[in-house]
Amino acid sequence: MDHIVVSNLTKKFIKKGKRRFLTREKEEILALDHISLRVKKGELFGLLGPNGAGKTTLVKCLATLLIPDEGTAVIDGYDIIEDPISVRKILGITTGGERTLYWKLSARDNLKYFASLYGLSSKEAEERIDYLLNIMDLKEKQHQRLEKYSTGMRQKVSIARAILHDPKIILLDEPTLGLDPSFSMFLRSFIKNELNRKEGKTILLTTHYMEEADQLCDRIAFVNKGKLIVVDTSKNLKRSVSKNEVLEIKCVGNVENLVGFNAYMENKRDYTKVKILHENTEEIMDDVLKIIKEKAKILSVNVKRPTLEDVFIHLTGSELRDDYE
Amino acid sequence: MNSFYNIHIILAEVKKSLKIILCYPMEIVYWCIFPIFWAVPFIFQGNALVGGMKSEAFSELTGTAEFMPYILIGAVLNTYVLSALYGMSNSLREESYWGTLELILGSPCSKIPILLGKALNEAITSTIFAISQVFICIVIFGLKIAINQILPIMLIVILLMLGLYGLSIALAGITIQIKQSRSLIHTVEYLFYLFSPVRYPVDINPWTKTISLIIPLTYALIVVRGITLLNKGLIDLWQNVVILLLMDIALIVFGYYIFFYIEKRARKSGIISTY
Amino acid sequence: MKMNLRHYLRAINAENIKEWKIELTYRVDFIRGLFEPLFYVLPAILYGMAIVGGRYSENLEKLTGTGNLITYTVIGYVFMGFLETAVWGMGFALRKEQWYGTIEQVFAAPVPRWVYVMGMALHSTMHQGLIIIMQSVVIYFIFGLVLDISGILPSLLIIGIMMISLYGLGILLSSLVLIFKEGWIISEILYSFMIIVTPIAYPLAVLPSILQKISMYMPTTYGISTIRHFLIGESLGFSVFDAVLRLLAIGVLWVIFGLFIFNIVDRRVRNKGELGTY
């Protein structure tokens, strides 16, 4: 059974440009371009794509915070446009951004407030909050104001808030963004083991960390520039290019003469990274190195098995990550 | 650092601040018009209480029976109070929100021309607002100002600004240190309303009269009203002018020391107010 | 449905309690807020006294049937506070959530928007009630007030009816503030204008006739005059029954209009994705 059915979802934004006397230039941005997908009950589904791919827009549409221009989505039988209140009842959501809770209130007060909005009775709320604070290991600091919490602890409260009303379906928008590794590890294991495996929640998670998607998700959708590129399991995605190996060369200089090798180039600050997907890299290695050496200096040469990132590059021609290395 | 360099910084600051204000055209229109509207209820109130636009009792306290121009002049000069109290501290608060405050405080130039630039910007904008308000007063309410009164009034306005911006610099310093300085500034504003003759003649009550003596705005209002409503010259009112001048000096020195004391402390403790 | 109503009431109360908790963390602001209205009413009283040279105004008596300018002005200003509540308390509720960053979380919860707005209304009315009590006590000790005690209960009733329209205004403003960058100016302009056409420190008879006509559509006109009628015997140009009827009619109209605009804005921000931006 499908818990989330997205059909043809489209969303445009108008971006205001330069002012010209009385008029203003307008630029249309297609944030979601006719996206359709299905998430099965109990599935942990990942939306993987670079910043600005449209992941957050999709999550906000599903959470009824945005009204799509075209298409719709049905969540556990409820249409997001026709019946937003019913959708909100069965959804838990965390949105990105640093401030999503009341920093002037304690963790407990924040949770109590939202419990009322989600219709929990005081007794239910107290029990549920105790339980959540316990598993999130926040019991000791539950009465401290959030302004005194670390980013990671606040994110824990955020997730506790999202699952307060024990929703069937959870939308997590970049849940580990900006967290230090130990918090990220805790949250990932919590999402996979506690929420998904033990409690059987259907989870839709967005991320631009390839490892996160690889490690957590049953199936992954690649999103780029508002378009859905492909949906499959991590294994199948990798298998689709598995006949291939990745020849990765770091070098300094001009490598534009590599045309014809299906090469992907990433310009880093100090060097250029060239990636070539090929069935047998040994076969082409000599030729490639020779060509590169004509105009550039080689720093290192590597042959690797393809990662999800390589699959993404292969399919979209653009990078997934823009933040490190 | 030579003075040419400092003037350059002042002008850069003024230019930047003016450009930012121009991004909010609604706000400019608002300040050009609305402070006069706040005074309107007082005019109707006076009319309701005495059944006309003149009051004998009022004249005993103020020397003029016409309460309407009295109130309007208070409203126009109040624009400078609001600008001094909120303008500079809001500007610093915004810089802190944008993250540019740290860059400014960390830059190698002296902070004095930056503060002067901010004050000069406030002076320019509030004078534009005040002129527009006076124009409305003349057209709609028939306020009369003779040409030969303009120069002495401008002199007093400049003296008033000097004192107020001294206070303003102190408040700007406090804003760097205390996030909730808004509360303090609001309180100062209300004290001005209650203890200086902006909205009513403080002479009516010995308490308010005594306290009003320590507020520079009191003297500026006395002189400007003296010139416009009682046809007096600066020479007749010289004592008020001298007191205003002395207060200016005291407030500027006070503002300067408070600001630099706090700036130093803030750099030691690392609090450049965070939002 | 029954379950829903209980859920909604609990949510309204939770909203109220949350606001109290947040406000009380800004202690200095909170205390200042309690005394702030005094700094508006005291200059107005002293100004009135300077104009008539005492507490009694013959002309005011002629116009309103009551000549004590202090009680007249104080009651006007105290109840003007409710207007302030609607404009600033409720009007800026959503903008505040935007600033906290919590508006999306609140809007993703399964309660209709009016539940949230009612929570804000409950909170700001309670807060204003507290301010009024503080204010009345201070003024009583400074000037001494003579009020008709038996008029208190009917006055509370009138306030209750007047609040309906003011909530309508609050709902309207809270949505406008959400979409306009300089929303505070809209609120300021509306507030300044309403202050002029409301009989706070003067009867409407002194206003130019066009303003008098406009004031006939303001709930505060009927609210404040009728309250003064009960407390100090101001003579009214209309019957109390009439006043109540008009208050109710204006109330219903304003609330419908407020909700109408609110819904348009809610759809607009969800269409344009402007909800979380501040």
Give the best residue of C51, C143, C181 to mutate against chain B (max B CB count within 10 A).
C51
The one-character DSSP state at B232 is -
| Distance in angstroms (rounded) separating the CA atoms of residues A241 and A224 | 19
Name which of B99, B124, B101, B80 is nearest B176 in CA terms.
Answer: B101
Q: Which residues of B touch C203 (CB under 8 A)?
A: 48
Report the gap between the CA of C168 and the closest CA in chain B (Å): 24
Helices marked H in chain C: 2-25, 27-35, 38-52, 58-64, 69-84, 93-100, 103-107, 113-143, 152-179, 183-196, 209-215, 219-232, 240-272
Higher pLDDT: C238 or B100? It is C238
Q: What is the pLDDT of residue A202?
A: 95
- Is B117 touching C (CB cutoff 8 A)? no
Burial of A279 (0-12, 13-18, 19+ CB in 10 A): exposed
Could you report the per-residue pLDDT of C258-267, keeping only the tens digit for each?
999 998 988 8
Higher pLDDT: C85 or C253? It is C253
Q: What is the pLDDT of residue C15?
A: 92
Number of C-beta neighbours around residue C264 at 10 A: 12
Give me the residues paired with residue A245 across strands: A278
Give domain A243-305's CATH architecture. 2-Layer Sandwich (3.30)
- Is B48 touching C (CB cutoff 8 A)? yes
The residue behind tokens 């540019």 is B100
Report the gap between the CA of B113 and the closest CA in chain C (Å): 30
Query: Cβ C270–A161 below 8 Å, yes or no?
Result: no
End-to-end CA gap in chain A: 41
End-to-end CA gap in chain C: 36
Q: Which residues of C touch B30 (CB under 8 A)?
A: 185, 188-189
- Is B222 touching C (CB cutoff 8 A)? no
Q: pTM for this one?
A: 0.79
Q: Apex CA A124: angle with CA A79 and CA A103, to 5°?
A: 80
Q: Which residues of A150-161 are buried (b: 16+ CB within 10 A; e: fewer)?
A: eebbbbbbbbbb
Q: Is the pLDDT assigned to residue B275 strictly greater than 70?
A: no
Could you report the per-residue pLDDT of B195-226, keeping only the tens digit for each?
999 999 999 989 999 999 999 999 999 999 99
Higher pLDDT: A51 or B128? It is B128
Give the Å distances, CA to CA, from A167 to A34, A100, A193, A198.
27, 19, 16, 14
Are residues A176 and A323 in contact, defined by beta-carbon separation less than 8 angstroms? no
Q: What is the pLDDT of residue A324?
A: 38
Higher pLDDT: C94 or B3? It is C94
Q: Is the pLDDT assigned to residue A165 strictly greater than 50?
A: yes
Give the Å distances, CA to CA, from C215 to C83, C195, C204.
14, 10, 8
Task: Out of A217-221, A238-242, C5-9, C79-83, give the one with best mean pLDDT.
Answer: A217-221
Encoded tokens for B89: 């501290």
User: Which amino acid type is present at position B146?
Assistant: A
Name which of B209, B86, B219 is nearest B156 in CA terms.
Answer: B219
Q: Strands A296-304, A44-48: parallel, antiparallel or unpaired by DSSP?
A: unpaired
Which of the residue ranges A58-72, B80-94, B233-247, C7-21 would you say has the lowest mean pLDDT? B80-94
Write down the domain spans for chain A.
2-233, 243-305
Q: Which of A65, A99, A105 sits opposite C108 (nearest CB)?
A: A65
Q: What is the pLDDT of residue A193?
A: 92
Q: What is the pLDDT of residue C277?
A: 57
Are residues B121 and B17 in contact, defined by beta-carbon separation less than 8 angstroms? yes
Could you report the per-residue pLDDT of A119-154, keeping only the tens digit for each?
888 899 999 999 999 988 899 999 998 888 888 889
CATH number of this structure's domain A2-233: 3.40.50.300
The one-character DSSP state at B203 is G
**What is the value of ipTM here, to two decimals?**
0.88
Q: What is the pLDDT of residue C1?
A: 44
Please state, rounded to an integer, the average pLDDT across all residues of chain B: 87
The H-or-E segment that residue A34 falls in is strand A23-40
Q: Which of B37, B45, B180 sits opposite C26 (nearest CB)?
A: B180
Q: What is the pLDDT of residue A325?
A: 34
Query: Cβ A65–C21 below 8 Å, yes or no?
Result: no
Query: What residue of A is the nearest CA neighbor of C269?
Result: A66
Q: What is the pLDDT of residue A108?
A: 93
